[in-house]
Amino acid sequence: MKLLDIGEITQRSGVKPSTLRYYEEVGLIQSLTRHGLRRQYEPQILTKLSLIMLAKAGGFSLSEIAGMFSEKGQLQIPREQIRDRANLIDQQIKELTALRDVLHHVADCPAPSHMECPSFQRMLKASGRQKPVKKKPPTY
Amino acid sequence: MKLLDIGEITQRSGVKPSTLRYYEEVGLIQSLTRHGLRRQYEPQILTKLSLIMLAKAGGFSLSEIAGMFSEKGQLQIPREQIRDRANLIDQQIKELTALRDVLHHVADCPAPSHMECPSFQRMLKASGRQKPVKKKPPTY
DNA sequence: ATACGACTTCAAGTCAGCTTGAGGTCAAGT
DNA sequence: ACTTGACCTCAAGCTGACTTGAAGTCGTAT
């Protein structure tokens, strides 16, 4: 099994060396060995990084993401948590959809003041008061 | 038109006074007048706050959100930008959907190692390499 | 008239998630 | 043997979005 330098990981994943080192520092990933000082990664790390990027885009924090992997680097989440997370994501999707609808409304509605347009108000109401959402998408 | 104290805004919107003052500081909202030292808000601000919360949940930064409102506090975005933002949101929705699918897969697939399961890999591939996403959902 | 409580300002602090920079190491090619 | 370039460490810095705390102001109820 051929090992990869940090530079290759960067090339193939788009994740910067400084970020990879940071992820290691916080325990999110680890390199298999060192060649001299240099970190050597197994190719599987690339899959893991894909997952990490996906979860980040989904608004999960690094520590939440870390919690999704077991010791052996396997994705391992108790069923119940999966259900919860899936619900959380569905919630986010609803919010995003509401936001998109509002934008489309603004694009199409001829009313001079959206702020008072009843259908606009309705959309806002509809989107409001569900539950919190977690953390933050990146600027990668 | 009855004006509202910061405390009432907080009660009705769930947004803390410190946050409201911060939003004012960065030019995202403004109070109509003062009663003594106290900020007095028009009730419309509540609608605006709903929009702000919605957009934040959609991952937009405060300055991006600020850019969605005109001088008069109206929601005012050039059509083209609306299209772009709507696309961005659709993109985010796709990512979230991919994430949810991955979670469901993990819940259901009996394979010992998801990392090597072909359908798992396929989902990751499918979710990957589109374009960046902007910013951050909150912990409100 | 005074006390109360809800507001005010301003500076500093916090947290996540990185990035930057200075100075050092080391394996491989010439 | 030497140079090169890709890596390394460690501390400090940065941005966004707030929060906190100390000290002050002021309208209203008693």
Residue A135 within any structural domain of the chain: no
Q: Are A103 and B121 an interchain contact pair (Cβ–Cβ within 8 Å)?
A: no
- Count of domains observed in chain B: 2
Per-residue confidence in pLDDT tens, chain A, 140 aa: 699 999 999 999 999 999 999 999 999 999 999 999 999 999 999 999 999 999 998 888 999 999 998 877 778 888 888 888 899 899 899 999 999 998 888 888 777 777 778 888 888 887 764 433 333 333 33
Q: What is the 3-state secondary structure (H, E, C) of chain A?
A: CCCEEHHHHHHHHCCCHHHHHHHHHCCCCCCCEEECCEEEECCCHHHHHHHHHHHHHCCCCHHHHHCCECCCCCECCCHHHHHHHHHHHHHHHHHHHHHHHHHHHHHHCCCCCHHHCHHHHHHHHHHCCCCCCCCCCCCC
Q: Domain boundary at A45, A66, A87, which?
A: A66
> Which CATH number do you get for residue B27?
1.10.1660.10
Are residue B61 and residue B107 in the same domain, yes or no? no
Beta-carbon neighbour count of residue B126 at 10 Å? 13
Please report, rounded to a whole number, the percentage of residues in chain B having pLDDT higher than 70. Answer: 90
Residue A74 within any structural domain of the chain: no
Residue A96 within any structural domain of the chain: yes
Query: In terms of residue numbers, what domain contains B97?
Result: 79-127
Residue A22 within any structural domain of the chain: yes
Are residue A8 and residue A52 in the same domain, yes or no? yes
Query: How many angstroms separate the CA of residue A26 from the nearest CA in chain B?
Result: 20
Query: Comparing B110 with B76, which gets the higher pLDDT?
Result: B76
Lowest mean pLDDT among A72-86, B10-24, B33-47, B91-105: A72-86
Residue B136 within any structural domain of the chain: no
* Rounded-to-integer distance, Cα B70 and Cα B96, Å: 31
pLDDT at residue B58, as a whole number: 85
The protein footprint on chain D, as nucleotides within 7 A of a CB, is: 6-9, 16-21, 24-27
* pLDDT tens-place string over residues B26-72: 999 999 999 999 999 999 999 999 999 999 988 889 999 999 888 77
Beta-carbon neighbour count of residue A38 at 10 Å? 12
Contact yes or no for B32/B119 (Cβ under 8 A): no
Residue B57 within any structural domain of the chain: yes
pLDDT at residue B132, as a whole number: 37
What Å value separates CA A56 and C1' C8?
39
Residue B72 within any structural domain of the chain: no
- Give the Å distances, CA to CA, from A77 to A54, A67, B140: 16, 8, 25
Q: Domain boundary at A66, A90, A109, which?
A: A66
As a whole number, the mean pLDDT across chain B is 85
Q: Answer whether residue B139 shows pLDDT above 60.
A: no
Are residue A62 and residue A86 in the same domain, yes or no? no
Residues B10-29 have a mean pLDDT of: 96
Are residue A10 and residue A52 in the same domain, yes or no? yes
Residues B81-85 have a mean pLDDT of: 86
Q: For residue B96, give the chain A residue with the closest CA.
A: A58
A17 touches strand D (CB under 7 A): yes
B63 touches strand D (CB under 7 A): yes
Q: Domain boundary at A37, A66, A95, which?
A: A66
Query: How many angstroms separate the CA of residue B68 from the nearest CA in chain A?
Result: 10
